[in-house]
Amino acid sequence: MTKKDYIKLLETVGLYMELKGENSFKVSAYRKAAGTIEQSQTPIDDIEDFSVLPGIGKSVSELLDEYRTTGQSSLLDELKSQVPEGHIKMLKIRNLGAKKIVKLHKELGITTIDELQAACTEGRVKELAGFGAKTEETILKGIEELNTKRDLSINEAVKLTSFINEGLENCASITRYQVAGSHRRMKEYSKDLDYIVETDAPEHAAGEIESLDIVTHVEVSGSEKVSVTIMIEDLETSVDFRFTDHAGFTQMLNHFTGSKDHNVKMRQFAKARGEKVNEYGITTKDGELIQYATEEEIYQHYGQQFIPPEMRDTVDAFDVDQSSILSLGDIKGDLHMHTTASDGAHELEEMIEACIKKGYDYMVITDHSKSLRVANGLTIERLLEQHEKIKVLDKAYSEIDIYSGTEMDILPDGTMDFPDEVLAQLDYVIAAIHQSFSQSESRIMERLMNACHNPYVRQIAHPTGRLLGSRAGYPVNMEQLIKTARETGTVLEVNAHPIRLDISSTVLKDNPGLKIAINTDAHHINHLDLMKYGVGTAIKGHVITEQVINTMTRSEFRKWLKEGKK
């Protein structure tokens, strides 16, 4: 378990206590303890007695000891049994906090969203002290937003597919499976999910899928396809599982990956040869059915280059030289990651070992800067101490070059969070906006321009600040930002976390040759695996390898850093 796990436990206990109606001092004790753990510079496994930390009393210490020993919390289990499940779901209603939920429960006995909607419709909520007609109206609107079915963001789809994959792994009759459709094409949003399933016993496979715990409704059940509704926590979507044998797997995967336009183009190639192509294979003039083992062979059959799934939304990819398009194997390092020094889950050495395991030639540690207090941002003193430690570790590890950096806040007034004399000592400086998103576009652009013109800022992180499915980000004149980035030699980031994918593939496709870095912004060693989503975004944007800073060789990257910003 990592520091993040302990912090999440404390914050969750505090939340459930608040929903139970416990006094604010008790709730605060757990939240303050979470802050203490966050800010502690002692590795979590080296803390023998939690009670020696400031603000952590006997009861909190006992909770943490139990969690360390068992991986469970009897207190949290007890709280979960006492708090209605519907209250947790109510927290997703915009502008409805725990205190109001507690009052609604106490005064009106409300335990579910449906009960809350009925109470608002009947006008009972506005009669409560501290609510009123406007609050009642806002709650109703929030419930409507929550209930409105919308497309899945790619981040949500990633979460859902991880659970689906786990379920399919345990199905004895299934020998192979792969997600298809828009999610395989790495679309930012998908209406539903599609799977191709290889099995010799489709009826048995259908039964196993339908019996998975995550399945809430079966729409279609058959020997060729099963359509179900799945729900994981508060995420719900439809999933089609299409069955095929071993020989037909690749062709069915190719066909149901799409897009519609891409498949039309493939049918045109087939028609020109007097052939037919569909989800079952290629039928020749003589009536022979060809089923290839790889997708590459399908494209070769028509004399075409292999088109990566990410580029199949449109047909223009057929005219692109695929030999120069970026691939995941081209990435030589990750330039944006966090440790326990700020809000990461792992120690510096653990991140180094994880990057070595990935086969990287270099990496940059970029913990948050001092003004981002919520992320335990580093003061100048702590930053420089970390810098010195990294220099020592860099010499100790021959397998990888380790560089010191920071993800520095661009402050609301347009200044940088660290002075130039501090930045000059670091190897790699990333600048980012994390606050005051509501500023005007001109003010936001002034902040970004200041960062680009700073002689030590090498990269702008997640340039629009968007979070897919939940936040639009701040107003950015992308044309102006890209122009300035080119002029100042500032690299723009493609943040690979599927909740961001910022900047987007559309921006990349519209700006060929733009210099970028693709980074995971890892806060956990597992996040390093998210690089594939950033690379997928770049592929969708027709990015070629030489555009990407972190495809440089070890020596090339070292030289590029030493040359400084031009």
> Which tens digits make up the pLDDT trace of 311-361?
999 999 999 999 999 999 999 999 999 999 999 999 999 999 999 999 999
- Terminal CA-to-CA distance of the chain, rounded, Å? 43
Residue 212 has pLDDT above 80, yes or no: yes
Q: Does domain 3-147 have CATH number 1.10.150.110?
A: yes
Residues of the chain with pLDDT > 70, as a percent, come to: 100
CB 553 within 8 A of CB 335: no
Residue 498 exposure: Cα atoms within 13 Å on the Cβ side: 21
Whose CA is closest to 374, among 31, 102, 5, 127? 31
Confidence band (pLDDT; 50, 70, 90) for 146?
A: confident
Nearest C-alpha neighbor of 508 from the set 519, 500, 520, 516: 516
Residue 312 in contact with residue 185, Cβ under 8 Å?
yes
CB-count exposure of residue 103 (10 Å: 0-12, 13-18, 19+): middle
Q: Per-residue DSSP letters for 383-416?
A: HHHHHHHHHHHHHH-SSSEEEEEEEEEB-TTS-B
The per-residue pLDDT for 532 is 98
Do residues 315 and 363 lie in contact, with contact meaning Cβ atoms separated by under 8 Å? no
pLDDT in the model for residue 189: 96
Contact 315, 265 (CB under 8 A): yes
- The tens digit of pLDDT for each residue in 151-182 reads 999 999 999 999 999 999 999 999 999 999 99
- Phi, psi torsion values for 324, nearest 5 degrees: -100, -5
Distance CA(416)–CA(16), nearest Å, equals 38
Contact criterion met (CB below 8 Å) for 153 and 188: yes
Q: Which two tokens stand for residue 564?
A: 């400084």
Q: What sections of 321-372 are H helices per DSSP?
A: 348-357
At residue 174, the 3 state secondary structure works out as strand
Average pLDDT, the chain: 96
Domain ranges of the chain: 3-147, 152-246, 258-306, 328-563
Residue 413 to residue 419: CA distance in whole angstroms: 14
Distance, CA of 411 to CA of 428 (rounded, Å)? 19
On the question of pLDDT at 126 being above 80, the answer is yes
pLDDT band of 398, cuts 50, 70, 90:
very high
Give the length of the chain: 566
What confidence score (pLDDT) does residue 39 get? Answer: 85
What is the C-alpha to C-alpha distance for residues 38 and 41, in angstroms, rounded to an integer?
Answer: 8
CATH class of the structural domain 328-563: alpha beta
- Identify which of 188, 191, 155 has the alpha carbon closest to the alpha carbon of residue 540: 188
Question: Measuring CA to CA, which residue among 497, 502, 514, 498 is closest to residue 473?
Answer: 502
User: Please, where are the H alpha helices in 236-277?
Assistant: 249-257, 260-272
Average pLDDT over residues 420-437: 98
Averaged over 439-468, what is the pLDDT? 98
Sheet holding 491-495, edge to edge: 333-334, 362-365, 401-409, 428-432, 457-460, 491-495, 516-519
Residue 88 Cα distances to 11, 94, 209, 371, 434, angstroms: 14, 13, 29, 31, 27
Per DSSP, the three-state class of 70 is: helix
Pairing between β-strand 289-290 and β-strand 281-283 as defined by DSSP bridges: antiparallel
As a whole number, mean pLDDT of residues 76-98 equals 91
pLDDT tens digits, residue range 267-280? 999 999 999 999 99
- Give domain 258-306's CATH number out of 3.30.210.10, 3.40.50.12280, 1.10.287.3510, 1.10.1040.10: 3.30.210.10
pLDDT in tens, 472-503: 999 999 999 999 999 999 999 999 999 999 99
Inter-CA distances, 319 with 239, 322, 401, 476, Å: 33, 9, 38, 31
Cα 315 to Cα 229: distance, rounded to the nearest angstrom: 32
- Name residues whose C-beta falls within 8 Å of residue 546's C-beta, 6 or more positions apart in sequence: 324
pLDDT of 40: 87
Give bridge partners of residue 282 from the DSSP assignment.
Answer: 277, 290
16-70 confidence digits (pLDDT tens): 999 999 989 999 999 999 999 988 888 898 999 999 999 899 999 999 999 999 9
In this prediction, residue 259 carries a pLDDT of: 97
152-246: CATH, from 3.50.50.60, 3.30.460.10, 2.60.40.180, 3.90.79.10: 3.30.460.10
Residue pair 145/139 in contact (Cβ under 8 Å)? The answer is: no
* Cα separations in angstroms, 199 against 173, 220, 243, 244, 248: 6, 18, 7, 6, 11
Q: How are strands ordered across the β-sheet holding 225-232?
A: 174-179, 193-199, 235-244, 225-232, 215-221
Residue whose token pair is 């009669």 = 127
**CA-CA distance, 541 to 310, in Å (whole number)?**
9
DSSP state for residue 151 in the 8-state scheme: P
CA–CA separation, 240 and 392 (whole Å):
53
Whether the per-residue pLDDT at 566 is higher than 80: the answer is no
Q: Compute and round to an integer the Cα radius of gyration of the chain.
A: 26
The whole model's pTM is what?
0.87
In DSSP terms, 460 is beta-bridged to 431, 492
pLDDT of residue 356: 98
Q: Tell me the helix, strand and coil percentages in the chain, rounded to 5.
A: 50, 15, 35
- Measured distance CA(494)–CA(516) in Å, rounded: 7
DSSP run (H or E) holding 538: helix 531-540
